[in-house]
Chain A
Amino acid sequence: METMMSILVGILVTVATYLILSKSLLRVILGTAIMSHAVHMLILVMGGFSRDSSAPLLGEEAASYTDALPQALILTAIVISFGVTAFFLVLAYRTYKELKTDDLTKLRGHDNDE
């Protein structure tokens, strides 16, 4: 299970890197969104899981319990990355409206364009 998840994380990071390196702003934002999923899954893998452990709250007889902390961390991280992505999308939209381009190479700053 961990192996499969790790491979999935790797694939997601690959996709995200490819997207972040592209010129179009929208693709870059999608890249950061996918990157966030990859990172959240990495936290889940690092918490570790096995088939026999049960949910931490149901019953006191189980031999071992799942570690609940990574899931709490991911929940917080998901909310934050959701907010950031929403903000980023709005920012990209406004930038597109104002500067008439979503090409990152054209968004470079120059010294004397006040």
Chain B
Amino acid sequence: MSNLLVIPMVLPLIVGIILIFLRPFVRTQRIISFLTMLLTFGVSTYLLVEVQRNGIQTLDFGGWDAPYGITFVGDSFSLLLTATAYFIAAIVLIYVFATIGEEKEKMFVYPLILLLLAGVACSFLTGDLFNLYVGFEVMLLASYALIVLGGEKGQLRESIKYVLVNVFSSFVFLIAIAFLYGTLGTLNFAQLSLRVAEAGQPALLTTIAIVLLLVFSLKAGLLLYFWLPGSYGAPPMGIAALFGALLTKVGIYALFRVFTLLFYHEPDITHTLIGIMAILTMIGGSIGAIAYNDLRKIIAYNVVIAVGFILSGLAIANQAAIEGSIFYLVHDMIVKALLFLLIGATIYLSNVGRLDRVSGMIRNYPLLGWMFFITMISLAGIPPLSGFIGKVYVAQGAIESGAYVLLAFTLISSIFVLYSLLRIFRAVFFGESTISKEDMLPMKKAMIIPSIIFVAASFALGFGVEGIAGVVSDAAETLMNPTIYIDAVLNQGGA
């Protein structure tokens, strides 16, 4: 029992609502939203430490014991992701302060970001399937509003498809919930896990599992990523960075939760399917990443490749591979935000978003160029940076369980990531400078500081693997052994 567990969801929610009434006071809004993010990051980190000390933290709202009431469960996996999400949100906010423009600041951009984070935290921490749906919807509604904020033509056109796809997938999610409740009579993760195990996951439950796979794949961009590149190109870059770092990761979290805790009895069907989808995602993402000349499209397809990579860890499903996926998930959240911010700064400074119309940026802005270089090698997985350790563990897991096809595709996809970013580096940063010294826009400090912090975080994660390894292996152990989770939720206090 820990009442603090409610803070990551409720605090941003309340502050977001209060900020709606502070609409004209932009400066106050900035300070309050930034402090909220920092405070929530602190609380999630504290809870993460607490989990290492005392085991999984749970909270039953209103004193109704699980499985009857609404339950929040914080294990290492969910709290690690919550803490990372709030860390990223706090840093990205600094970039948003500098770039979003006063008009949008008065149109509720900060309340919406806070509500988005509340939805993300609710999805990470909830202990039952229906509240996962509610968390998804809170997050998605905020993202609908953020994607269309400003009301430009391109934004409106892309957001219609984004909204339609997500509304439809929410209905499919509800259908899956209805059938699951009809067959098993519960929606609490722990109790569902027990009942699926008792029934031995017959064909009907496997079918429901595949429906859930479809739903979460739509949200995570696993194979069904067709909506992703267009919509992530529409909003302002700071917002797109939040989307790229957080939204698909919630879908990935849900996939991990459902396919390690509930439906792990028929890996030949479900996990093979996930593996095939992951391979196709990596192929499609790689083709997209090298096919376009639009910078936004290239980095959006890089998000897709990472989704495929992380879920190949889930498809392999042994301790090493899951650990690798979690490492890579945390790394990817940080570095994708960084990549979006750097490309945002590039587009702002050069005023064009295409590969073939700008070059030689590194002469005018050396710091920006070298940070992009570091991001590139970090994403490709060069040793001292954060991407390396995740790739090693996933590869190790793949070799242990003999998944050589998957191994080949994960490694080849890294080459495509490197190639697609090298194309940007070569075309945009090297070569003759297209911007003369006189026309050079001064670089805003607030635009570059968040990127520096993220680069530092990527180094810290790479060098400080020891520090985080305990948390990650605990998270992977909880995912691999559902009984730990079930015991923590259903037999708390007593027994």
Which one of B141, B157, B163 contacts A107 once the chains associate, using CB atoms below 8 Å? B157
Set of chain B residues within 8 Å of A69, measured between Cβ atoms: 181, 187
Contact call B177/A43, Cβ cutoff below 8 A: yes
* CA distance in complex: A42, B177 (Å): 10
User: Does A88 count as interface, using CB distance less than 8 angstroms?
Assistant: yes
- Residue-wise, chain A 66-87 has the 8 Å CB interface mask toward B (1 for contact) of 0001100100110010011001
Residues of A within 8 A of B181 (CB): 43, 46-47, 69-70, 73
Question: Across the interface, do B182 and A48 meet the contact criterion of CB distance under 8 Å?
Answer: yes
> A76: which B residues are within 8 A, CB to CB?
130, 134
Interface set, chain B 144-160, CB cutoff 8 A to A: 144-145, 148, 151, 153-154, 156-160
Q: In whole angstroms, what is the CA distance A109 to B294 when docked?
A: 14
A80 close to B134 (CB less than 8 A): yes
- Separation in Å of the B153 CB from the closest CB of chain A? 6
**A36:B156 contact, CB within 8 angstroms:** no
Q: Which of B153, B158, B164, B167 contacts A98 (CB 8 A)?
A: B153
Contact of B159 with A36 in the complex, beta carbons under 8 Å: no
Q: Does B230 contact A (CB under 8 A)?
A: yes
**Once the chains are docked, how many angstroms separate the CA of A20 from the CA of B168?**
10
Given known A-B contacts A39-B178, A42-B175, A83 and B154 have beta carbons under 8 A apart? no
Q: B145 and A87: CB pair below 8 A? A: yes
- Known A32-B167, A92-B160, A111-B294; contact A77-B154, beta-carbon cutoff 8 A: no
**Chain A nearest CB, measured from B163 CB (Å):** 6
Complex Cα–Cα for A47 and B178 (A): 8
Does B21 make an interface contact (CB < 8 A)?
no
User: Are A84 and B154 CB-contacts (below 8 A) given A36-B171, A39-B171?
Assistant: no
Q: Does A19 contact B (CB under 8 A)?
A: no
Query: How far does the Cβ of A46 sit from chain B's closest Cβ, in whole Å?
Result: 3
A7 within 8 A of B: no
- Whether the Cβ atoms of A80 and B160 lie closer than 8 Å is no
A80→B164 CA distance, assembly (Å): 15
**How many angstroms between the C-alpha atoms of A45 and B159 in the bound complex?**
33
**Known A39-B178, A77-B174, A109-B158: A84·B168 in contact at CB below 8 Å:** no
Q: Which residues from chain B contact A92 at a C-beta distance below 8 Å?
A: 160
Number of A residues, CB within 8 Å of B: 36
CB atoms of A94 and B151 under 8 A apart: yes
Chain B residues lying within 8 Å of A109, measured Cβ to Cβ, are 154, 157-158, 230
Determine whether the beta carbon of B160 is less than 8 Å from that of A91: yes
Name the distance in Å between A92's Cβ and chain B's nearest Cβ. 7
A114 within 8 Å of B (CB atoms): yes
Residues of A within 8 A of B154 (CB): 109, 113-114
Question: Inside 8 A of B353's CB, which chain A residues have their CB?
Answer: 114
* Chain B positions 158 through 194: 1 when the CB is less than 8 Å from some CB of chain A, otherwise 0: 1111011001101100110111011000010000000
Given A70-B181, A80-B137, A91 and B159 contact (CB-CB distance below 8 Å): yes
Among A25, A36, A39, A83, point to the contact of B141 (Cβ < 8 A): A83
Report Cα–Cα, A80/B156, bound state, in Å. Answer: 22
Q: How far, in whole Å, are A42 and B171 apart by their CA atoms in the complex?
A: 11
Flag whether A4 is at the interface (Cβ < 8 A): no
Q: Give Cα distance in the complex from A46 to B168, angstroms.
A: 20
B160 near A25: Cβ-Cβ < 8 Å = yes
The answer to whether A42 touches B178 (Cβ under 8 A) is: yes
Question: Which chain A residues (29-57) contact chain B, with CB distance < 8 Å?
Answer: 32, 35-36, 39-40, 42-43, 45-48
Q: List 27 A-B contacts (CB under 8 A).
A: A32-B167, A35-B168, A39-B178, A42-B178, A46-B179, A46-B182, A47-B181, A69-B181, A73-B177, A73-B181, A76-B134, A77-B174, A84-B141, A87-B144, A87-B163, A88-B163, A91-B144, A91-B148, A94-B151, A94-B156, A95-B157, A98-B151, A98-B156, A99-B157, A109-B158, A113-B154, A114-B154
Known: A39-B178, A91-B160. 19 other contacts (CB 8 A): A20-B168, A28-B164, A35-B168, A42-B178, A45-B182, A73-B130, A76-B134, A80-B134, A84-B141, A87-B145, A91-B144, A91-B156, A91-B163, A94-B151, A107-B157, A107-B160, A109-B157, A111-B294, A113-B154
What are the 4 tightest A-B residue pairs by CB atom distance, in nearest-first order? Answer: A46-B182, A43-B178, A46-B178, A95-B156
